[in-house]
Amino acid sequence: MSVSSADGPATLTVAPRGGMVAVARGYSLIVALVGTVTLAVSLTISATNPLSGGALNGIFTTLSYFTVWSNIVALVVNWMLALDPTRDGRLFRWLRMTALVMIVITGLIYALILAASAHPCGIGVWTNIGYHYFVPWATLLGFLLFGPRPRFTWDLVPKMMAIPVVWLVFTLLHGLMSVTIPGDKCSGNPLQDGANFYPYPFITPNYDGTGAPSPLIPGVSADGYAGIAINLVVIIILGLLMASAFVGLDRLLSRGAKPTPLDGGGDMPDDEPETVSVPAR
């Protein structure tokens, strides 16, 4: 079924519709608010921690975490949906796909790999819950319950890698240049000068003095950056498979309805074309 308006092609939306639009708006607003508070508190702690080695060092170290980047992208999308639960457009579709893949990977890797060695304390317990549990799974649940859909096309699968690649370049460069590792009062680790900081064992070239990163696949490893490359291939494959799954879920939950083709180069303005809700077939 093709839906159009006098101002141009309208956006087909099978969900949310009717009274669920208001529910979706409230849901996204709650996720956005909790996530924003989590991010603000986390950055404030990093900037004011006497063991940070200075405010900028603390903030840049915090920003080297994939967790923080994925939460920021998820927050942007949730704020967009809080303003318009039926939003569409090239920019939104790309950000929505990117946010889902990044934030779900954050939740999975933390729960399966990192949680066992994490020892948050004080207010860090709550920011940890926000970063690694609430925002990841609430964002995924929001997609499953409210959409909006249909929105995903197959060309978004490789495109969603753009922000993770920027994060990786930033983090590896920061690791090469950093000379101060903030201390951690929870674990008792002191401030370390003259050291390089990498936020995760699987992208640390010389993890624990072994000369290699911690392998994501037991027994499959190599020294230095070759080992990092192997781990990144694993993560990239996981990300592409997850993005493909989200395209399939979007189509399945839309009862086979396909996203409205978007002509032109930019994001669809909020005032045109209009969003039309159509009962799912």
Give the domain ranges of the chain: 12-255
- To the nearest 10 degrees (0 to 180), the angle between helices 135-146 and 224-253 is 30
Whole-angstrom distance, CA of residue 136 vs CA of residue 105: 8
* First-to-final CA distance of the chain: 10
Between the alpha carbon of residue 95 and those of residues 55, 101, 173, the distances in Å are: 30, 10, 24
Name the nearest CA neighbour of 47 among 37, 36, 60, 34.
60
pTM (2 decimals)? 0.85
Each of the 281 residues of the chain gets a pLDDT tens digit; together they read 333 333 344 567 777 788 889 999 999 999 999 999 999 999 999 898 887 778 888 899 899 999 999 999 999 999 999 999 999 999 999 999 999 999 999 999 899 888 888 888 889 899 999 999 999 999 999 999 998 999 999 999 999 999 999 999 999 999 888 777 777 777 667 767 767 888 898 888 887 778 888 888 888 778 888 989 999 999 899 999 999 999 999 999 998 888 888 875 444 444 334 444 444 44
Residue 135 vs residues 119, 203, 218: alpha-carbon distances, Å: 20, 24, 29
Cα distances (angstroms) measured from residue 117 to each of 20, 98, 171, 190, 236: 40, 27, 21, 17, 24
Q: Phi then psi for 217, rounded to 5 degrees?
A: -110, 115
Q: Amino acid identity, residue 19?
A: G
